[in-house]
């Protein structure tokens, strides 16, 4: 499936790639991707037409979001990418 086969994200009006780039391993040298490898992955994704990126403040203790900010800024993509982020690992509890 080409990353340029864009679609609308729900009712938001945002146009996104069919596959998001998950960045949980970005900036984690122990079991993930070192900074230079993370940048190469990011560049390959956007060069292929991808624009939908998943991250969270807990990924690599915030390093993932820091790196993404640097990569997006360096390539001037602020208005071209859609960042999906989360902010906790605490599970939600639903009462029935």
Residues known to be catalytic? 59
Beta bridge partners of 22: 54
- CA 33 and chain centroid, separation: 14
- CA 89 and chain centroid, separation: 17
DSSP string, 35-84: HHHHHHHHHHHHHTT--EEEEETTGGGGHHHHHHHHHHHHHT-TTT-EEE
């Amino acid at each position: 499936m080409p990353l340029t086969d864009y679609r609308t994200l729900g009712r938001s009006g945002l146009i996104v790639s069919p596959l998001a780039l998950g960045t949980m391993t970005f900036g984690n040298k122990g079991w993930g991707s070192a900074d230079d490898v993370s940048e190469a992955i990011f560049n390959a994704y956007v060069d292929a037409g991808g624009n939908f990126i998943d991250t969270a403040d807990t990924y690599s203790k915030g390093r993932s979001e820091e790196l993404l900010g640097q990569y997006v800024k360096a390539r001037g993509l602020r208005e071209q990418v859609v960042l999906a982020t989360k902010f906790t690992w605490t599970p939600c509890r639903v009462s029935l």
